[in-house]
């Protein structure tokens, strides 16, 4: 469902579902984190995506190749300081 909301650019709904998962002892996995991060990056929410990446890594997950590529493209094409703010 998170992926579907993200594809339709329903970010509020995707985040609400993501938050409710955490609140109901349903721990998001790396796939959930990657989908949310990709959605945020594609919609211009760079700082929020970087914060979520830091949370994901802090929980022991790693970014998949698609998420890593989006961050690399972001760094190459814009302000490199975004990742330093996390």
Confidence class for position 79, pLDDT limits 50, 70, 90: low
Tokens of 61: 């997950």
Give which of 37, 28, 46 is closest to 6, Cα–Cα. Answer: 37
pLDDT score recorded for residue 78? 62
**pTM > 0.85:** no
Question: pLDDT tens digits, residue range 5-47?
Answer: 888 888 899 889 988 987 787 888 888 898 888 888 888 888 9
22 backbone dihedrals φ, ψ, rounded to 5°:
-65, -35
C-alpha to C-alpha distances, 13 to 4, 18, 36, 68, nearest whole angstrom: 10, 9, 11, 24
The boundaries of the domain holding residue 67 are: 2-85
More confident site: 78 or 46: 46
Our count of domains for the chain comes to 1
Euclidean distance between CA atoms 77 and 61, whole angstroms: 26
Q: Taking the mean position of all CA atoms in its chain, how far away is CA 14?
A: 11
């Amino acid at each position: 469902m998170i992926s579907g909301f993200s594809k339709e650019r329903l970010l509020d709904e995707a985040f609400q579902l993501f938050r409710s998962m955490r609140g109901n002892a349903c721990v998001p996995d790396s796939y959930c984190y990657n989908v949310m991060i990709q959605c945020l990056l594609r919609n211009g929410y760079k700082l929020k995506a970087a914060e979520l990446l830091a949370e994901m890594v802090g929980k022991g997950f790693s970014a998949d190749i698609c998420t890593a590529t989006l961050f690399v493209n972001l760094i190459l094409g814009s302000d490199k300081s975004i990742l330093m703010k996390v």
